[in-house]
Amino acid sequence: MRSENPFAETGIWNVAGEFSCDILMYHIYWIDRYDILAEFGSCDYNQDIDLSEDDKKASRVKGLQWFYKHITMLISNSKFAVKKEKHKTELEVFQEELAKIKQYMPGSFSTKVNQKDNTIRVIIHDKLFSMIYDKIVKIKEELYTILHKNNIIFKYVADMDPKTLKEKWKHKLETEG
């Protein structure tokens, strides 16, 4: 049976909007959540006051691991859409830096098992943990700028004049309804 839609037969579908929303924005959402979790051990005030310090430490470690994972996936998933060679090179540098960071992540914490009550206590090695966290935050900030400048997150307008934009919208409304 033939489809009424001429594009269905060609296989030419533009799914950029869905891809951006489902793949790229998904990671951006979780990157920000795991950034907070890695720093504080919880994502909101109520959770913060309910968790023990040991639970917060374990959450910080998991948050850092997931923060790292979502940053690497966002870079991989958005590389193809970056048009400027300079920015592509920067993404490759980020990937190299993140590969180095991955080697040091296991050393940023350790665990201690209490045989008496069968619990595991997480010990964060603050200096290394903070260095890793700060480096990933820096990559995140630079990555978001690159994605923005390549019109992946927002349409980039270098010299946007709000008055001119308002006049264009007003004119369009008056002439086109």
Per-residue pLDDT band for 17 (boundaries 50, 70, 90) equals low
d(CA 145, CA 154): 10
Sign of CA dihedral 141, 143, 146, 151: negative
Amino acid letter, 111: T
Q: What is the structure's pLDDT at 177?
A: 60
Highest mean pLDDT, choosing among 16-20, 86-90, 164-168, 172-176: 86-90
> Backbone phi, then psi, for 150, in 5-degree steps?
-100, 20
* DSSP reduced 3-state for 110: strand
Render pLDDT for 26-39 as a digit per residue (tens, 0 to 9).
899 999 999 999 99
Query: What residues does each domain of the chain span?
Result: 6-176
What one-character DSSP code corresponds to residue 42?
S
d(CA 24, CA 41): 25
Residue 156, token pair as written in the block: 């980039």
Collect all residues with Cβ–Cβ distance below 8 Å to 76 and sequence separation of at least 6: 95
Q: What is the structure's pLDDT at 164?
A: 75
Q: What is the structure's pLDDT at 161?
A: 67
Residue 114, token pair as written in the block: 């209490």
Render pLDDT for 54-112 as a digit per residue (tens, 0 to 9).
999 999 999 999 999 999 999 999 988 888 999 999 999 999 999 999 999 999 999 99
Render pLDDT for 117-156 as a digit per residue (tens, 0 to 9).
888 899 999 999 999 999 999 999 999 999 988 887 765 5
Tell me, yes or no, if the pTM score tops 0.75: yes
Mean per-residue pLDDT, 147-166: 71
d(CA 96, CA 139): 11
Q: What is the structure's pLDDT at 15?
A: 59
User: Which of the two residues, 63 and 4, has the higher pLDDT score?
Assistant: 63
Q: Are 51 and 12 in contact (CB under 8 A)?
A: no
